[in-house]
Structure 1
Amino acid sequence: MPREHQGPLARLRRGHEELVLRLLRTHGPLSRAELGRLSGLSRTTLYDIVGALVDGGAVVATAPAAAERRRGRPVETLSLHPGAGQAVGIDFARRAVHVAAVNVAHEVVGSASETHPAELDWPERVRLAERLVAGLGGGTLRLGALSGIGVGVVGPVGTPRPGAEGTGGPEGAGGAADRTDLPVLLGKRFGAPVLVDNNTRLAALAEATWGAATGAQDVLYLRLSHGVGGGLVVGGALHRGAYGLSGELGHITAEPDGRRCSCGKDGCLETVASVGAVLRAHGGAADLAAFLAALPHDPAAARVLDEVGTHVGTVLAAVCNALGPEVAVLGGELAAAGPALFDPVERALHAHLMPVSRARGRLRPATLGEAAGALGAIALVLHESPLLDRYPAPDSLE
């Protein structure tokens, strides 16, 4: 059908509508007063635009619940229609796929996870993600016009390191060279735009947006999992680095003469503080669950974590001395060890931080768990956080 010609007034009105829709998509539910302040539109123009969007079903107006009402006229909140579309986040971790979805009104539709062998190839991982996504929201998930897929992957995005496993992904399955077709594979499966970024950096975004570091302007995030990585929020913005290499905290040297790391150098933090390194040092537990179960009555396990925590705290202190974060967040599967890990981390932090910084540093456990990477991927799609204001545009992340 031919597109109708639009005059200047029609184009101006459409621009105002798109502005209002973008603000609601970015910030979630807003009052008319908040919309007016953010949009800069006059009250008359705003009411006209909002009225048309409500009448057309793109926006819904919701009065406060009776328990929340105060004296005077109830203040309605405006949000995008929940049925207008969803955004999906997928975190392709080394040995698991985690998915989450929200609708455009910023309501969580659901989340799910499933583990898999480290060597599982990308087509199988994509099929696993498709199955998990299909089950979200009781199978009612619908990708609409405003939808997108945010994807977290292990390792640098846009800067492959030939021959490196490390943070580049599981050998033979998750390396950067093996995932180059991932946006195409997912785009075909879901019929929606796909944005890809480092999954640990996305977890940092999620923790700084909704989790342990909400509201902080400078955040250091470290995740101890099957790999070790991190993310940085500097001056209120998520930091990606010039080549997508920001947050590679797992490759700071912890033992100068230590074990050879898969990145190619020796003694990286990942060689002593990853799940595999912990199990190797313990020598008795078959997996992390068995190690954590044995921890309360196993002195050897406690000694391993004491040494690991000392290395982690020393590395964190070095980064904190350089960056001066307001909050340091520690997450990942190994963080489930609780005080047995956090106590030696805090001791090493205190010992190696500059004295002037010791009273200011705050270490917090991550709060979002396995869903953090997927939730951060959703934030990337919605571009909803001020933490992304100076982040590269979505089309430059590939």
Structure 2
Amino acid sequence: MQQHDGPLSRLRRGHEELVLDLLRRNGPLSRGELGARCGLSRTTLYDIVGVLVANGAVVVHAPEATRRRRGRPVERLALNPGAGQAIGIDFARRAVHVAAVNVAHEVVGTASHPHGPGLPLAERIGIAERLVAGLAGDSLRLAALSAIGVGVVGPVPSAPGRPAAKTESDDQSATSVAPDADRTVTPDGALPPAVPDREALARELRGLFGVPVLVDNNTRLAALAESVWGTAAGERDVLYLRLSHGVGGGLVVDGGLHRGAHGLSGEFGHITVDPGGRPCECGGTGCLETVASVGAVLEAHRAAGGTAGDIAEVTAAARAGREPAAGVVASAGHHVGTALAAVCNAVGPGVVVIGGELAAAGDALTVPVREALAAGVLPFSRPLLDLRPAALGEVGAALGGIALVLHRSPLLSRYPQAPDSGEDR
């Protein structure tokens, strides 16, 4: 029988997409919770859910016996874990990290491989391919692979005059790197000619795995991951700061990753904290990155007479209260708290998360951060701010790439199948 795609058919498909998207964003929900979020009538919702369960896109979880109360047990609906999987890859400055998650939001594997600075793109992609192959040999089913989310270092802006975020229709096609995401912002704010690496990266990954590729800034993706699986899970307004070889972060606003008008949000490392300080590679002076990045802290430690070979030795010495490490880390923490206070006063997050290698210093870092943060935020905000350490470690940005896919792409649920536009292939 010939199928006709009339108004009623399109309406029904839209309702199915709405239900699938709510489960993708929120994880398992009861029918009542779904109804409160989707706004469909009870009859329509039950009909839609019945079809999705029948075709395998959604599964029903019976309540645990220990949680049952009086009355009829409440079943929860979830995306079928076997309906698809997503891979996240973080091309960090000195390592490649990968993670795999199924559509039910379950992490099925992670892996990392460090490398030296300046490694050519082709070799870094090769590392990613080997790491993914290693996961495939364990628990990852590549036949079910649905999408890849990729984190990269540096700004990932949209071109002037174009929307920063892709539309839903864009996500339903073979989505690739965002417009002009391969460009870097110069100190004067201009966009220089495109650098081919990121475009080549997306094209190469599509060629290897045959699936759509979404690309974003890796620290912004780490922020998203911490709000989905990490220390800020369940929080809707989160400020994340990553103190690594670079300093950056991200904002989760009302449960969604904030990119800004041109996709340039989260560059907290370029907030000025010392007007008379050192020049920064961005063209500014005294940026947070010049005093709180891994390289800056190592340099300050050595200038103070320290002999640590790497940042892990510095943070270990700081945790033990040994000088000069403790003093150097405290100084960096003071600058971090000062910068965070300015951002908190502007955006009002409920949770502040600190990650990256420097966060391994523990209280040696967070105590001065708290002190400077408390001194800088408005008095009535102080008791409302919750400062937490990141929980996901080095694979945070890779998991964030997956969170980007789970939140923005309808391709993971197998239904409806969107045509592959072949864009940028």
Superposition TM-score tier, normalisation by shorter sequence: 0.7 to 0.9
Change (3 A) 1:370 1:5: same
SS at match of 1:139: coil
Aligned counterpart, 1:226: 245
Q: Which of 194, 200, 207 is the equivalent residue of 1:181?
A: 200
Aligned counterpart, 1:141: 140
Cα distance in 2, alignment partners of residues 48 and 383 from structure 1: 24
Structure 2-normalised TM-score? 0.80
Cα distance in 1, alignment partners of residues 248 and 382 from structure 2: 24
Matched, 1:332 2:356: yes
Matched, 1:270 2:289: yes
Q: Which of 158, 161, 169 is the equivalent residue of 2:184?
A: 161
Cα distance in 1, alignment partners of residues 71 and 248 from structure 2: 51
Aligned counterpart, 2:308: 285
SS at match of 1:363: strand
Aligned counterpart, 2:130: 131
Aligned counterpart, 1:22: 21
Q: Percent identity over the alignment? A: 67
Unaligned runs of 5+ in 1: 169-174, 386-394
- Deviation (angstroms), 1:85: 0.7
- Is the contact between residue 157 and residue 264 of structure 2 (CA under 8 Å) also seen in structure 1? no
- Deviation (angstroms), 1:188: 0.9
- Deviation (angstroms), 1:205: 1.6
Written as runs of structure 1 = structure 2, the 5 A alignment for 1:334-353 is 334-353=358-377
Aligned counterpart, 1:389: none
Change (3 A) 1:176 1:210: farther
- Is the contact between residue 82 and residue 144 of structure 2 (CA under 8 Å) also seen in structure 1? no
Aligned counterpart, 1:392: none
- Is the contact between residue 87 and residue 104 of structure 1 (CA under 8 Å) also seen in structure 2? yes
Q: What amino acid is the match of 2:335?
A: H
Change (3 A) 1:231 1:6: closer
Cα distance in 1, alignment partners of residues 376 and 12 from structure 2: 58
Q: Which of 401, 404, 416 is the equivalent residue of 1:377?
A: 401
Change (3 A) 1:117 1:33: same
Change (3 A) 1:24 1:144: farther
- Is the contact between residue 84 and residue 144 of structure 1 (CA under 8 Å) also seen in structure 2? no
Moved more, 274-283 or 253-262: 253-262
Q: Which of 305, 308, 314 is the equivalent residue of 2:338?
A: 314
Moved more, 67-76 or 224-233: 67-76
- Is the contact between residue 158 and residue 244 of structure 1 (CA under 8 Å) also seen in structure 2? yes
Aligned counterpart, 1:213: 232
Cα distance in 2, alignment partners of residues 138 and 246 from structure 1: 37
Change (3 A) 1:265 1:3: farther
Question: RMSD of the alignment, in Å?
Answer: 2.9
Aligned counterpart, 1:249: 268
Cα distance in 1, alignment partners of residues 66 and 131 from structure 2: 37
Aligned counterpart, 2:172: none
Q: What amino acid is the match of 1:203?
A: A
Aligned counterpart, 1:388: none
- Deviation (angstroms), 1:192: 0.9
Change (3 A) 1:9 1:136: same
- Deviation (angstroms), 1:59: 2.3
Aligned counterpart, 2:326: 302
SS at match of 1:265: coil
Matched, 1:35 2:58: no
Q: What amino acid is the match of 2:95?
A: A
Structure 1-normalised TM-score? 0.85
Moved more, 121-130 or 7-16: 7-16
Q: What amino acid is the match of 1:244?
A: G
Change (3 A) 1:147 1:351: same
Cα distance in 2, alignment partners of residues 31 and 357 from structure 1: 35
Q: What amino acid is the match of 1:233?
A: V
Moved more, 92-101 or 11-20: 11-20
SS at match of 1:101: strand
- Deviation (angstroms), 1:162: 6.5
Cα distance in 1, alignment partners of residues 384 and 4 from structure 2: 60
SS at match of 2:225: helix
- Deviation (angstroms), 1:288: 1.5
Question: Number of matched residues?
Answer: 377
Moved more, 280-289 or 252-261: 252-261
Q: What amino acid is the match of 2:296?
A: A
Matched, 1:76 2:61: no
Aligned counterpart, 1:365: 389
Aligned counterpart, 2:259: 240
Cα distance in 2, alignment partners of residues 48 and 106 from structure 1: 25
SS at match of 2:324: helix
- Deviation (angstroms), 1:145: 6.8
Q: What amino acid is the match of 1:46?
A: L
Q: What amino acid is the match of 1:352?
A: G
Cα distance in 2, alignment partners of residues 346 and 88 from structure 1: 36
- 1:342-381 Cα offsets, whole Å, 9 max, x none, are 1222222233334444343332222222222122211211
Q: What amino acid is the match of 2:77?
A: L
